[in-house]
Amino acid sequence: MRLFRVLLLCLGSAAVLLSVAVSGAEWFVSPQGQRSSPGTREEPWEVAFALAGGGKKVAPGDTVWLRGGSYKFPFTKGSQSQGFEVKLAGTVEHPIVICGTPAERATIDGGLSIREPSTYLWLRDLEIMASEPRPEKALGPVNTAKAAPLESDISQYRPWSGLNVYAGQGCKFINLVIHDNCQGVSWWEPSKDSELYGCLIYNNGWLATDRGHGHCVYTQNQTGVKTVSNCIMSCLFEGTFTLHAYGSKNAYVDSYVAEENIICGKGPFLIGGGRPSRNIVSRSNYLYGASMSIGYVAPENEDCEVRDNVIVNGELRVIKYKKAVNEGNLVLGRNDKRPATPRVIFLPNRYDPKRAHLAIYNFGKEPQVAVKMEGFLKAGDKVRLLDPRGFYGAAAWEGTAEGETLNVPTPGEFAAYVVLKERKLVDQR
């Protein structure tokens, strides 16, 4: 019975999670939990204790379940707080999984910081946000003498929050909802061979007198490969980036794979900086209203593959690469002629068989577009279409499928949705 229960709860990557279910313990956390509790379903832990290892009780292969509710990190004005520290070390065969309980909304209010000795850690199905409001007016004037001119200023109003990754080999950050932080994801060199997958990242950043600050994903990399895949990202302010894989001539921006991401609205997509980059792959990404730059101000770069991307109302720039594969990309400016038929991108979720992401370029501006969801949808399935920039709000559409094809509402030239079947979320906050 225990094996069956864990597989139902995790809903993904059966081979790895099977080992978790067979060999690992289950620990439970709730907003009312206590450090002195045994960490059971009936007597759960408090969150900071669990994420720090539960008094060294959390071991490779274990699963830590966060029950629904809000986990508020105490914010001290001016502290530039990055939230609860996570210090959990799994192994390649037996990762440690921190997972929101299915059908319950588990909210980290104030951020998470992945620190040593974390490794082979899977973090999934959680909301990460900051409840403190943004300043009512733009901050400034900017002190350009500072390396990070406004971080200390914004910390007078709200925590930095977001997902901050400073460590970890082989980590996975899966199906997170990251919004209304100063920065969505801050992902640095010590994190190696890790993956950001299926996340919704939106409404992050803040406004200054020069421009917006705080990106969806700000990242650098030297060793191993960082992968950003199947995410939906959108910026709130001009001057901020969706993917900002960037650094000065002293920072490394190497070995990235960005594929099957959906970029909607504000926020250019950049991989490049002041130091020459190498081993860059940007494949099958779907942008609307944003441009893609592979390369930036480095005098030359090594090698990249830029293939099968769709960019509408934006540009594609591949800058100063010695060896570049640049093919199969569709790039349409605002005044370019549109194709006669819609372009539909349906992306089932690798870790959750009841979830998919959907993008529709509705070139003919039809009120609805037929979307074939072969292998995902069948007659009688209950389906919900959710706004990726309002995941916890009311469904944009819900109903019962008559078959594997769904007629999807498409207001305007572009629409993006999260598709869920047979599941509703219970907000226990």
pLDDT at 22: 34
pLDDT digits (tens, 9 = 90+) for 316-328: 999 999 999 999 9
| Total structural domains within the chain | 2
For residues 281-294, average pLDDT: 98
pLDDT at 192: 97
Q: What is the CATH number of the domain that holds 405?
A: 2.60.40
For residues 183-190, average pLDDT: 98
Q: Report whether 368 contacts 410 (CB < 8 A).
A: yes
| CA distances to 188, 312, 378 from 274, in Å | 16, 27, 50
pLDDT at 14: 35
Residue 146 falls inside a structural domain: no
Residue 180 scores a pLDDT above 50: yes
Residue 119 falls inside a structural domain: yes
> In the Cβ-directed half-sphere of 112, how many Cα atoms lie within 13 Å?
30
Residue 175 falls inside a structural domain: yes
DSSP string for residues in 375-399: TT--TT-EEEEE-TTSTTS--SEEE
pLDDT at 2: 37
- State the SS3 of 52-73: CCCCCCCCCCCEEEECCEEEEC
pLDDT digits (tens, 9 = 90+) for 221-260: 999 999 999 999 999 999 999 999 999 999 999 999 999 9
- Alpha helices (H) in 126-196, listed in sequence order: 151-154
- Helices 2-10 and 14-23: crossing angle in degrees, nearest 10, is 140
Residue 374 falls inside a structural domain: yes
pLDDT at 364: 93
For residue 315, give the DSSP letter: -
> Distance between CA 231 and CA 258 in Å, rounded?
10
> Distance between CA 156 and CA 187 in Å, rounded?
23
pLDDT at 128: 98
- Bridge partner residues of 306 (DSSP): 282, 326
pLDDT at 152: 78
Residue 365 scores a pLDDT above 50: yes
> Distance between CA 214 and CA 223 in Å, rounded?
25
Map residue 151 onto helix, strand or coil: helix
Q: What is the CATH number of the domain that holds 75?
A: 2.160.20.10
Map residue 163 onto helix, strand or coil: strand
pTM score of the predicted model: 0.93
| CA distances to 3, 166, 238, 257, 283 from 312, in Å | 46, 34, 18, 21, 15
DSSP string for residues in 226-290: EEEES-EEEBSSTT--SEEE---TTS-B--EEEES-EEESB--EEE--SSPP-SEEEES-EEES-
pLDDT at 153: 87
Residue 6 scores a pLDDT above 50: no
Q: Report whether 272 contacts 424 (CB < 8 A).
A: no
Tell me the pLDDT band of 204, cut-offs 50, 70 and 90.
very high
Residue 241 falls inside a structural domain: no
Mean pLDDT of the chain: 92
The amino acid present at 125, given as its one-letter code, is D
Find, among 154, 156, 218, 135, the residue nearest to 184 by Cα.
Answer: 218
Q: Report whether 50 contacts 38 (CB < 8 A).
A: no
Map residue 253 onto helix, strand or coil: strand
Residues 6+ apart with CB under 8 A from 143: 149
Residue 11 scores a pLDDT above 70: no
Residue 201 falls inside a structural domain: no
Residue 399 falls inside a structural domain: yes
pLDDT at 80: 80
Residues above pLDDT 90, as percent of the chain: 86
**How many CB atoms sit inside 10 A of residue 291's CB?**
17
Residue 90 falls inside a structural domain: yes
Domain span at residue 369?
343-421
Q: Report whether 279 contacts 261 (CB < 8 A).
A: no
Tell me the pLDDT band of 187, cut-offs 50, 70 and 90.
very high
For residues 54-74, average pLDDT: 96
Find, among 93, 388, 359, 337, the residue nearest to 234 by Cα.
Answer: 388
Domain boundary among 194, 210, 239: 194
Residue 147 scores a pLDDT above 50: no
